[in-house]
Every structure is written in C-alpha cells, then in structure tokens.
Chains A and B, each alone.
Chain A
C-alpha cells in the first residue's frame, strides 16, 4: 500500500476575467504521496464533479515538464516548494499529512486570470513572435557539421533553450518583469552562429515587445532564476542587457 495523506486545499476560484475571485477550501483524504500535484487536483475535480459542483480550471498538457502549460503558485512559490521542477513534476510526498496547501494563479498585470487558476500567457507568445526565431530559406538540409560551434557555447545555448515559457519568472518577480524569459530566448540564439545574423534586430524587437506589453523593469532581485523550473541562470539577463546596449550603441 502507498503512503497516503489527508490535506486541506485553499484554491483560488474566479468565474471569469472580470469576476471577483475568492479562496475556496476543500478537504481531500487518502491522497497517495506518489501522485503528482496535478493528479491530486484531478482527484479534487472528480470529487467536485460527483458533488455536482464546478471543477477547478487549471492549465496542463504534457505532464512531464516540457510543454510549459502547467503553472500554479503553490504555498508562496511558482511551481511549488521544490526547486527546478514544474508543477506537473511536483509530487505529493513533498507535503505532509494535515498540511494546508494554498493554490493561486500567476499574478502579474500582463497575465490576467481567465478562470480559476488559468491565466492568459499569450503575452509571452507575442514576444516570441516579435523575433524569437531564425529566418531560413528552405532548401536542402544543410550538413549538420558545416558550422563548427564551440562546446561551451553549444552547452550554454542548450541551457537557455530549456526555457519552456511557463511564465514563472514574471509570476515570481516583484517588478512583474519578463526579463528571464526574454533573456533565455535571446541567449539561445545569440550564442549560436545561425542566430547571430539577426541578433541585434531580434533583441531590439523582443525587448521592445516586452516593454510594450507592460512588463516591469528588471532590478536584478533574482527571484526569477531562483524559481525557474528549468534553472535558466540570472547571467542570461546580463547577456540580454549586453546585446541590447551594444545594439543601441551601434545604431
């Protein structure tokens, strides 16, 4: 038999973007400590449905930490109290019997609540659309080794490419800044020769979009990197600053 725990959940319920939200308290018994946080919420929703109540809305998709859909601010941390994991990878063994767990949506001006725990994160998509890509002329597949790339750069580009666009960085930031996300997306391309070609325009376009969407000014508090489920490092922001300042001085 698995070990099981009984918990109390305080969940943010909000009927729609304009509706006034409130916390609702639910008791859940016999939750397996081997279940993930989202499986626990599934159990809650089964229970609510059987009671003919409205289930809690929350975002999720892959449930293996790669898609960036899951969110949730759990007990004061985006993606919960564990470090370097997404909510879908968080296990109930991290909580103890009788614990009260508070679950809130991301709260930042650029991420308005759609319903309950689901927020609108399209702002991040708009930033990507502004320049988070490499333009290529389609044609024959180029030889993979035609452009040599130092291992160090390849590794660092990969570390930045691990960003899943979940929004935890802006959700954690006291300034509502999206800098870590933008820094990761700018860095992953700026570090590679294929991305260098458009680097200056990219950084100006993406940062401009970020500012236009009303995200805040980074003051290097570092909550983003501490809470990022993919451990994107704070130094990425320094690279973003460097790329942007150099691009502006060249203009």
Chain B
C-alpha cells in the first residue's frame, strides 16, 4: 500500500488528516464565536450537536483522523531520526529561511495533544459524553463561563493556542506542498495563506477565552462592588 510504504504516501496521509483537522477547527471556531454573540444561539448549537447520530459519526471520524495524524507523526519522526543517523554535526547553523516551527512540529504536536486532552476533560466529557451515557448534559455557555473565569484555565488555553499557531503556520502550507499544490509563484502565496489561516483559527478560539475571562472576572468584580 503506497500510503504506508512510500514516503510521499505517508506524507499524503499526514497532510490530508492535518488539513481535515484544520477544516474542523475552522468550523468549531465559528461555532464558538456564537457564544459571544448570542448565548441562546450557542446553547441551541450544543443541543443540535449533542448525541445525535450525525454528531456521533462526526466525532468518531474526527477521532479517527486525529489518531491517524498522531500515529503517522510518530512513524515519520522515528524513520527520520534513523535516516539522520547517530553521528551529529559538531557545529550547525540554522539555514536561511528555515522556519522554527518546521523543526519542532512534533514538540508542538505534543503540546497540542495535551491541550486536546485537557479540552476533552473540560468540555466534551461534560457535554457530549454525559449525553451519550443518557444523562442531562451541562449547559454549553455556563460551562464556558465557569472554565474561562478561572485564570489558570484561560492561561493554559492561550498557551495551547500559541502552539497551535506555530504548528499551523508551517502545517497549512506544508500540507499543500505535500499534495503538490505549489510552484515557484505559489510557494510564497501558500505560505501567506498558511499564516492567515493559522491566525484566523487561533484568533477565533482566543477571542472566546479572552472574552469570557474578562466577562467572568472584571465585570463580575464590578457587579460585586456595585
């Protein structure tokens, strides 16, 4: 199977799974923004994407893609480590134009993974999971407010989003290059697209964290004082 046996095939899987995860994040991020605009609207979305069959199929598909992405990331890195060999250069200097993030994709990936675990405990376990178990899920907006009013959660999420930004600034254009959608003219363009997509995704998520942190702390304090 060329998707396992050939290096370009393995990269193909990496890039397709990565690109699907990016699309999911764009979707998820847009949904989150609704929480800022209208709380009722957000709770409606939560209900709509509860334990229905389509939401469950989506979740399972997503979990599969994420696992494949991580599995391939590990395989690629082990193979590349071997290909590099054990003898290392005594002096090495960064080459021009080599992005920092491109050298640290695995480390960034692990931070993202830790963030995903935290996020699943914070939200998914209390919303979709309990619904699957047949109990009443927590209210989406209340859960957001509760989580992000605590400064350490807000901080952890921001660190997580930072890593995601670095991962995606390289990841998005790298996935296009891997699929062959690049040439001398388009290479600078897809790098630019990559920065825009990464920034957009991260800003959408960060907006929710920051908004509810401020709403939960500053406004809350003002309310107390009043």
Contact = CB atoms under 8 A, between A and B. Distances in A.
A239 B98 CA distance: 20
A246 B179 CA distance: 10
Given A75-B91, A210-B7, A211-B5, A222 B97 contact: yes
Secondary structure dominating the interface of A:
mixed
Interface stretch (B41-49, B51-59, B81-89, B158-166): B81-89
Nearest to A112: B85
B11 to A, nearest CB: 6
Interface in B78-114: 79-80, 82-85, 87-93, 95-99, 102-103, 105
B17 to A, nearest CB: 14
Interface string B172-204: 011001111111101100000000000000000
Contacts of A233: 184, 187
Interface string A102-123: 1010011110010000000000
B10 interface: yes
A235 B90 contact: no
A29 interface: no
A220 B178 contact: yes
B74 to A, nearest CB: 12
Contacts, number: 148
Category for how many chain B residues contact A: 35 or more
A239 B183 contact: yes
A107, A110, A215 — which one has the most chain B CB atoms within 10 A of its CB?
A: A107
A108 to B, nearest CB: 6
B75 to A, nearest CB: 9
Contacts of B182: 235, 238
Interface string B65-85: 000000000001001101111
Contacts of B83: 108-110, 175-177, 214-217
A135 interface: no
A222 B101 CA distance: 12
B152 interface: no
A85 interface: no
Interface of B: 2, 5-12, 76, 79-80, 82-85, 87-93, 95-99, 102-103, 105, 170, 173-174, 177-184, 186-187
